[in-house]
């Protein structure tokens, strides 16, 4: 199956929190959207692997993703090896996405930064015809953008997700084991009831910067080319 957009996360829930609005918007436009998680997040303080997997399935359904895979890298010990880059290359060649989204390269969680280090070079190699891997044909995405998890950055662009924001929150809340404080759960930054207020404040902040209600921030490693100004929101009024 060919995808229009493929989003990578280090853990199931990264994609929802970082770029859920982008995926929801695209899926609602009839585009094919998929998710690849690099690990099962087995070292998480709360929840179990089966519960997290069920939550990930539900979240993908809420987003409208047609594919969700897990590469099962060991949580907190991602190794930037040829073998692991090849797993990314095979995914890229299998789904042939035009757009790839991945975590921003500097973050509080080591797996988020490590994801960038493994995925970004693999996106380039995936397009090399002389790199032979299985029966797959070379493919390189046209667009690569980094999404925000914990650490902020100066965005290359902010996407208006005002319409998609409520669904994004539903997708985040599909991870009840992570974001809802329950009897027996251990307090973390995620189970803190202030977390959802923080998420809302962050998206409102990004939205306000571009004159809309809610926004998602993205970084690009290269400049964005534009053909005309018509789809740009005013940036100085």
Position 116 contacts Zn ion (CB under 5 A)? no
Residue 77 neighbours by CB under 8 Å, 6+ apart: none
Segment near Zn ion (CB under 5 A); pick from 11-19, 51-59, 165-173, 216-224: 11-19
Positions in 14-73 near Zn ion (CB under 5 A): 14
Position 10 contacts Zn ion (CB under 5 A)? yes
The β-bridge relationship of strands 215-219 and 143-147 is antiparallel
Segment near Zn ion (CB under 5 A); pick from 2-10, 91-99, 138-146, 171-179: 2-10
**Which of 8, 11, 145, 158 contacts Zn ion by CB under 5 A?**
11
**Rounded Cα distance, 237 and 235, in Å:** 6
**Residue 159 · residue 25 · CB < 8 Å:** yes
Q: Which residue is nearest to Zn ion (CB)?
A: 11
Residue pointed to by tokens 């929801």: 24
Q: Measured from the CB of residue 109, what is the shortest distance to Zn ion in angstroms?
A: 5
Residue pointed to by tokens 């519960």: 51
In the complex with Zn ion, the residue whose CB is nearer, 41 or 89, is 41
Q: Measured from the CB of residue 13, what is the shortest distance to Zn ion in angstroms?
A: 7
With CA atoms as reference, report the closest residue to 147 among 1, 16, 51, 50.
16
User: Which residues are paired to 158 by β-bridges?
Assistant: 217
Half-sphere exposure of 191 (CA within 13 A, CB side): 16
In the complex with Zn ion, the residue whose CB is nearer, 93 or 218, is 218
The sheet with strand 67-73 has its strands ordered as: 67-73, 33-39, 5-9, 99-103, 143-147, 215-219, 157-160
Segment near Zn ion (CB under 5 A); pick from 10-18, 133-141, 188-196, 213-221: 10-18
In the complex with Zn ion, the residue whose CB is nearer, 10 or 126, is 10
Q: Measured from the CB of residue 11, what is the shortest distance to Zn ion in angstroms?
A: 4
Position 126 contacts Zn ion (CB under 5 A)? no
Q: Measured from the CB of residue 230, what is the shortest distance to Zn ion in angstroms?
A: 36
Half-sphere exposure of 164 (CA within 13 A, CB side): 26
Residues lying near Zn ion in the complex (CB under 5 A) are found at 10-11, 14
């Amino acid at each position: 199956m060919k995808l229009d957009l493929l989003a990578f996360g280090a853990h199931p829930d990264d994609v929802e929190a970082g770029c859920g609005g982008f995926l929801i918007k695209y899926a609602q436009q009839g585009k094919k959207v998929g998710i690849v998680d690099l690990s099962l997040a087995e070292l998480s303080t709360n929840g179990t692997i089966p519960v997290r997997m069920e939550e990930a399935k539900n979240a993908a359904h809420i987003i409208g993703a047609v594919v969700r895979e897990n590469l099962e890298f060991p949580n907190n010990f991602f190794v930037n090896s040829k073998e692991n880059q090849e797993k990314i290359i095979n995914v890229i060649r299998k789904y042939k996405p035009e757009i790839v989204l991945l975590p921003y390269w500097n973050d509080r969680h080591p797996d988020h930064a490590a994801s960038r280090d493994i995925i970004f070079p693999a996106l380039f190699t995936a397009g090399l015809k002389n790199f032979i891997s299985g029966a797959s044909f070379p493919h390189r995405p046209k667009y690569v953008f980094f999404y925000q998890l914990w650490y902020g950055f100066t965005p290359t662009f902010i996407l208006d997700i005002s319409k998609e924001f409520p669904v994004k929150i539903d997708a985040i809340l599909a991870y009840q084991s992570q974001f809802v404080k329950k009897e027996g759960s251990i307090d973390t930054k995620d189970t803190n009831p202030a977390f959802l207020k923080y998420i809302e404040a962050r998206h409102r902040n990004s939205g306000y910067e571009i004159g809309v209600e809610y926004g998602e921030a993205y970084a690009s490693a290269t400049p964005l080319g534009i053909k005309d100004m018509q789809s740009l929101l005013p940036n100085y009024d």
